[in-house]
Amino acid sequence: MTTGENLRVLVVEDDRDMAFTIRKLLAKQFSAQTDLALDIASARRFLSEKDYDIVTLDYQLPDGDGLSLLNEIVRAAGHARTIIITGHGDARIAAKAFKAGAAGYVVKGARMAAMLKDAIKKDLASIDPDEAQTSLAENREELELIAERDQDLFGLLMETSPVGICVIDNKGSLTYANRRAEEILGLKKDEITQRHYQDPLFEQTTVDGAPLPEEELPFSLIKATGEPVYDVRHGIQHPGRNRKIISVNAAPVIDAEGKFQGAIATFDDITVRVRDVEDLKKAQEELEIQETFFEKLFNAAPEAIVLHDNSDVVVDVNKEFTRMFGYSRHDAVGQHINDLLATQDFRSEAEGLSQQVIHGERVELETKRKRKDGMLIDVSILGAPIVHDGKQLGIYAIYRDITERKKAEEVRIRVTEEARMARNIQTNLLPKGNPKVAGYDIAGRNVPALNVGGDYYDFIFLDDHRMAIGLGDVSGKGLAASLVMANLQATIRGLALFDDDPKDCLEKANRLLFRSTDARTFVSLFYGILDVRQNTLRYANAGQVMPILFSQRGKRTLLRTRGIALGMKENAVYVEEEISLSPEDGLLIYSDGISEAMDDALEEFGEQRIQKVLLYNIKDTAGSLVEKLFAAIGAHVNNAPQSDDMTVVLLRRLA
């Protein structure tokens, strides 16, 4: 049972076939009322005339860019939530859409139906733990795409750098060299990489041409001290080539556990500058390029980075720090870091951390810090001293904003607890086993779509020869649905003991439900009373799927007497019918999750397949028939996600 009853959706799509697919999906999954606009002009007209809950908006339209219409919708207070639908799985487009105020982003293709359904469900009121996890998983995929794009841009920056760049692993082997490194060394990449930095091909000398001791090589210095080296000058001689003089800046690569993993080095050919005093100015400019490059790396970091002196006074901050905390470089430099970020409640903690790092310790923790606007955010902090030649020069700190992660953890904990409570309620409501009724074989089964479903069934013994049977489907999922279910079961059980008329029982239950719930809550319910002396079943049906009456001879009939679901209209009137059950007759009562179970192509299991299962297994026991019905559904959906609860009650009169 969907939660999107009376949902109003404007579909903005210039491809009529695609529009048909989207509208069909919305009608089937959400019973949505839809209008179609083929261009932006038509969409503006619809939006000026009607109010919509949701707008599905194609990114490319004949008369303009869909984002322009999105901006108009966002600026119009009270207008619909907008879901962008595009044929391009481009993370940049997704980022623009979300920045402009889109509520969702769906890519046309094989997963479009599932993505659109998930995007709409995010705006519905019910709590759904599995979808919350799916939603989180889908957001994580988009962030990974953006990260992949950024990695490509970083690779391009490395390859187009004006200085040579090499990466050396912890064993001294070169694993990467950029184009400029090839030019300076006069070698191709495959001649450089996978060689040891002391390979004879790289005959390294002093600036004057004398042999260079191993301990004075940049990599040796870094490995020995764990500290960066700057402007280390030495010669490099290749057989058959002129000797070159290079200037090397290099830094160690340290992993999260503080272990040395190698080094990254930038270098440039300074042969001419060293030999010609007139080129000293140019040498300075080239070195400034290296500094600029390192500055770009500093400012391109995805984490907020702060450099402070040994008194915790800020020396520099990168761009991510400004974005995260709102302080510009001008605001921050010269200020005590704890004056900027620590509130009174966290001041003692912050000062304790500062003292640890000032005294040479490395610290890491998760806590809260304040932005310039006073808002507290959750952060992880890594602080460590900067040491050179045994002297502490200052401190660096890395901040990561973990606010969203903390919120997600809180939601997950709350949803998990609610799901546990709701599951306990539902478990206690469902029958503990199949009833034993003389002359009849009866079986029931419920398979929820999520941890907690909205379906239920019940068997109520009225006296020694009569038993009431109920099968219901409560709108929604989670704790709210389970509480409605518990209330409904208590109501039906109470009414059943004093009123043997299914029609009256449903009408009274309907009035109680209508007065005690909101307009979004309703229940479809089949309620019947089996009389084993008369071999009859009197029933009334409030919006539930029509049961199938079948015989040993293969005849199958639908019980068509039915009224509206409970809770939709206060004074609803229901009609009851009585049927006779001949020997070996059977009755299948089921929820719409059985017939509407869909495979990946959105094809439903359908009533015809249900009847085939009954026909081919007509001689089976009730329990066996129920199991074979669920097995047939499983084969049809073929691991596609279950979209609704599935509940069955099957009774057969024995021969």
Residue 263's domain comprises 161-300
Domain containing 515 — which CATH number?
A: 3.60.40.10
Q: How many residues does the chain have?
A: 655
Q: For 331, phi and psi rounded to 5 degrees?
A: -65, -40
Query: Which of 185-189, 545-549, 589-593 bottoms out in mean pLDDT, i.e. has the lowest?
Result: 185-189
User: pLDDT-derived band of residue 131, with 50, 70 and 90 as boundaries?
Assistant: very low
Q: Would you state the pLDDT for residue 111?
A: 76
| Same structural domain, 295 and 189 | yes
Q: Is residue 1 part of a domain?
A: no
Establish if 560 belongs to a structural domain: yes
pLDDT score, position 438: 93
Q: What percent of the chain has pLDDT over 90?
A: 34
Contact by Cβ (8 Å): 630, 560: no
Cα dihedral 169, 174, 178, 180 in deg (nearest 10):
130
Whether 604 and 629 map to the same domain: the answer is: yes
Residue type, 323: R
* Mean pLDDT of the 489-506 span: 88
424 in the same domain as 371 = no
Q: Determine the pLDDT at residue 425.
A: 67
Amino acid (one-letter) located at 112: M
Strand extents, DSSP E, 44-126: 54-58, 60-61, 64-65, 81-86, 104-107
Mean per-residue pLDDT over the chain, rounded = 84
- Taking residues 68-88, report their average pLDDT: 76
- State percent of the chain over pLDDT 70: 88
Which pLDDT belongs to residue 566? 93
Instruction: Locate all alpha helices (DSSP H) within 160-198, ordered by sequence.
Output: 179-185, 189-192
Residue 408 belongs to a domain: no
- Regarding whether 486 and 606 lie in a shared domain, the answer is yes
- Identify the pLDDT of residue 153: 65
Spatial CA neighbour of 167 closest among 73, 261, 247:
261
One domain for residues 169 and 103: no
If DSSP codes are grouped into helix, strand and coil, which group holds residue 142? helix
Helix (H, G, I), strand (E, B) or coil at 110: coil
For residues 525 and 615, membership in a common domain is answered with: yes
Q: What is the pLDDT of residue 339?
A: 92
Tell me, yes or no, whether 283 and 198 share the same domain. Answer: yes
Cβ-Cβ contacts under 8 Å for 276 (sequence gap 6 or more): none
pLDDT tens by residue, 382-404: 999 988 888 998 888 999 998 88
- pLDDT higher than 60, residue 127: no
- Claim to verify: residue 544 and residue 639 sit in the same structural domain: yes
- Residue 312 inside a domain? The answer is yes
Whole-number pLDDT of residue 148: 58
Does 47 share its domain with 176? no
Residue 86 backbone zone (phi > 0: left; psi -120 to 50: alpha; other: beta): beta
Same domain? For 272 and 313 the reply is: no
Between 2 and 57, the higher pLDDT residue: 57
| Nearest of 343, 352, 298 to residue 321 by alpha carbon | 298
**Domain end: 105, 139, 156, which one?**
156
- What is the spatial distance between Cα 438 and Cα 467, in angstroms, rounded to a whole number? 11
The last residue of a domain, from among 300, 320, 348: 300
Count how many domains the chain has: 4
In this structure, the dihedral spanned by the alpha carbons of residues 7, 12, 15 and 16, taken in order and rounded to 10 degrees, is: 50
Place of tokens 């039906």: 492
* For range 537-563, the mean pLDDT: 92
Q: What is the mean pLDDT of residues 557-564?
A: 93
- Is position 264 within any domain? yes
Q: How would you classify the pairing of strands 548-550 and 536-542?
A: unpaired
Mean predicted confidence (pLDDT) in 605-610: 94
- At 248-306, the pLDDT tens digits run 998 898 876 788 889 988 888 888 877 664 455 666 677 777 777 777 877 888 889 99
Q: How far apart are CA 130 and CA 5, in angstroms?
A: 22
Q: 0.75 cut: is pTM over it?
A: no
pLDDT for res 1: 35
> Is the pLDDT score of 579 beyond 90?
yes
What is the Cα–Cα distance from 35 to 324, expressed in whole angstroms?
Answer: 42
pLDDT for position 63? 87
Do both 292 and 329 map to the same domain?
no
Instruction: Please report the pLDDT score of residue 132 as a whole number.
Output: 41
Q: Is the pLDDT of residue 169 over 80?
A: yes
Can you give the CATH number for the domain in which 322 is found? 3.30.450.20
Answer yes or no: do 282 and 384 share one domain.
no
**407 in any annotated domain:** no
For residues 343-356, one letter each, b for 16 or more C-beta atoms within 10 angstroms of the residue's C-beta and e for the rest, the string is eeebeeebeebbee
> Which of 401, 430, 463 lies at the terminal end of a domain, its last residue?
401
Structure token digits, residue 330: 């001008």
pLDDT tens column, 413-464:
887 777 677 667 666 778 889 999 999 999 999 988 765 567 889 999 999 9
Question: In 3D, which of 196, 176, 151 has the Cα closest to residue 265?
Answer: 176
Checking if the pLDDT of 641 tops 70, the result is yes
Residue 186: DSSP 8-state: T
Positions of E strands within 489-547: 523-531, 536-542
